[in-house]
Amino acid sequence: MSTIQIFLHEEQPIDPHAVRELYTSVEWWPERTEEQIAQVLASDVAVGAWDGERLVGFARVVSDHIFHAYIEDVMIHPTYQRRGIGQLLVSRLLEALPNVKTITLFCQEKLLPFYEIQGFRAFPSQVVMHRIPTD
């Protein structure tokens, strides 16, 4: 296996086109555009995993940087999954948020063990709710 390098967006800029390709590879969010992804990258903490020049993993945070942070879009290209890259990305995000009291995420039940290794715990008494426009 080649050496995977992990960098925050501020250390090594993450190309919105490469992120769009990752979304496609994991079959997520086909409606998100490169322009929207560029805006998101400019607004908060993001981290990438590179194999040479190729972006093979990505994750980001939405945060007030004091009280709360929310980890979003942890994704690894399918040919690179199950190599520990996701753990490296989440660890790097957590390092970038040392003073945030509560860090939250939501995931599929099958991913609970993956996030528990990083210190996350499920709260079955809570319910995730979304408000999505009904156009």
**Whether residue 33 has pLDDT greater than 80:** yes
115 is catalytic: yes
Report residue 125's pLDDT band, with 50, 70 and 90 as the boundaries: confident
Catalytic residue among 23, 70, 80, 115: 115
Helix-, strand-, coil-residue percentages of the chain, each rounded to 5 = 30, 25, 45
**Whether residue 1 has pLDDT greater than 60:** no
pTM of the shown model = 0.90
- 94-130 burial by CB neighbour count: b if 16+ within 10 A, else e? bebbeebeebbbeeeeeeeeebeeeebeeeeeeeeee
- Is the CATH number 3.40.630.30 carried by domain 4-116? yes
> Tens digit of pLDDT for each residue in 42-92?
998 999 999 999 999 999 999 999 999 999 999 999 999 999 999 999 999
Question: Which residue has 């980890």 as its token pair?
Answer: 71
